[in-house]
Chain A
């Protein structure tokens, strides 16, 4: 089952690459560097998916005390941090030629960076507790707080940015989307979600095997 998922993911990623570099048109203003959006946007969407799963796993564990839920939360947390990191790095690479700096306190980058910090803290907490039962419990509480905080962070950062500068055009939601770009985005998003699902199932399997020894 996982193997099939793996092959599907490879297909999806290849299709995504093709769509992103071949099919989608060159963006008028930013040029080819804009194509990194096909990495950046699906990454952030997948990261959010991951943290929703952390929330689900956390609640599930506290409600049922079954280790499977905790494995879900842990795996989703790890992979989520990975994709969040990818989002930040790709956003930074996008930013350098576009605005001339590696970092800007743009609303989405800032929110994502905060998200990154919250979940790195989550992983740190997990690494510092040896007793699996206590680890699952504490991590679940932090997972819930972190996830519920996401919308609060989003709004506070957005309003904070509005105070200082008009928002920079980073996301496709600001300008009308060329259908070619939209399709490439969609294909890549699906590919990334498949990749995430593949990583998740592999990671959970490893965790389950580790627990048995």
Chain B
């Protein structure tokens, strides 16, 4: 019970600080808008070409935003030695990981909703019809990205060249998640039923389980730093 309380208070603290400082939210929102332009300009005015690339672009957008947002997960703890304070708290440290993971999932979900809406409006893509199965793919992909991202963010917070090392470590590990989510999204946008992408969903679910489990088991070793 204390475990759940502790995970919850971490989530509460991060959301509260975010609401007050608004560090992440505004910048990420603006970043999403910029991405819209970036992709459009990179691919040129051909509508069809853009439409065909939407699944990949969507996930590219999430990952880019994720690299920015996730990498900063533990930055708040660097101030005033709070990291040290967390180390001194008794009990299972993985509760901290869980709380941070939940916070990151909330952040990523907000980014995804914004990107999906922006894509739907500006790229004239129908994302509403397959909304429910798409949401499932998004959820599974988000957990996969956040699970490893939170763990690696904790690690790289204490290391030199943090901004470079974090993407270098995270991206190769995320390849399966990227492949799975883009393939599934593509199929769903083409109107295929959920059953057709079941194998991808199973892969994602399995990967998520593995990543979160490893995160829970190894976080205390990362925190000890």
Residues on A lying within 8 angstroms of B by beta carbon are: 62, 114, 117-118, 120-121, 124-125, 128-129, 134, 137-138, 140-142, 144-146, 148-149, 152-153, 155-157, 159-160, 163
- Which residues in chain B, 108-146, are within 8 Å of chain A measured between CB atoms? none
B207 lies within 8 A of A152 (CB): yes
* Given pairs A118-B172, A156-B176, A163-B183, 18 additional interface contacts (CB within 8 A): A114-B175, A121-B169, A124-B165, A125-B159, A137-B224, A138-B155, A138-B159, A141-B151, A142-B152, A142-B155, A142-B169, A145-B151, A146-B173, A148-B214, A152-B206, A155-B203, A156-B177, A160-B183
Q: A187–B169 Cα gap in the complex (Å)?
A: 36
Q: Is B63 part of the contact surface with A, judged by Cβ < 8 Å?
A: no
Inter-chain contacts of B225 with A (CB < 8 A): 134, 137-138
B148 x A145 contact (CB < 8 A):
yes
Q: Are B155 and A159 in contact (CB under 8 A)?
A: no
Measured in the bound complex, the distance between the Cα atoms of B160 and A153 in whole Å is 28
CB < 8 Å neighbour of A62 from B177, B211, B218: B218
User: Which residue from chain A places its CB closest to the CB of B211 in the assembled complex?
Assistant: A145
Count of chain B residues with Cβ under 8 Å from any Cβ of A?
33
Q: Which residue of B lies closest to A155 (CB)?
A: B203
**A104–chain B nearest beta-carbon distance, Å:** 16
B180 contacts the other chain (Cβ, under 8 Å)? yes
Most buried by A among B148, B173, B222, B225: B173
Question: In the complex the two chains form, is A144's CB within 8 Å of B203's CB?
Answer: no
The answer on a CB contact under 8 Å between B172 and A128 is no
Bound-state CA distance A159–B187 (Å) is 14
Q: Give Cα A110–Cα B160 distance, bound, in whole angstroms.
A: 30
Q: Given the complex of chains A and B, what is the CA–CA distance between A124 and B166 in angstroms?
A: 11
Task: For A117, list chain B residues within 8 Å (CB).
Answer: 171-172
User: B210 touches which one: A118, A129, A152, A163 (CB < 8 A)?
Assistant: A152
Could you give, for residues 174-203 of chain B, a 1 whenever the CB lies within 8 Å of some chain A CB and a 0 otherwise? 011101100100000000000000011001
Nearest CB on B from A32, distance (A):
34
Residue B38 interfacial (CB < 8 Å): no
- Complex partner residue of A156 from B160, B171, B203, B221, CB under 8 angstroms: B203
Decide if B172 touches A141 in the complex (CB within 8 Å).
no
Most buried by B among A114, A138, A148: A138
Given contacts A121-B168, A128-B165, A134-B225, contact A157 B173 (CB under 8 A): no
Q: Does B1 contact A (CB under 8 A)?
A: no
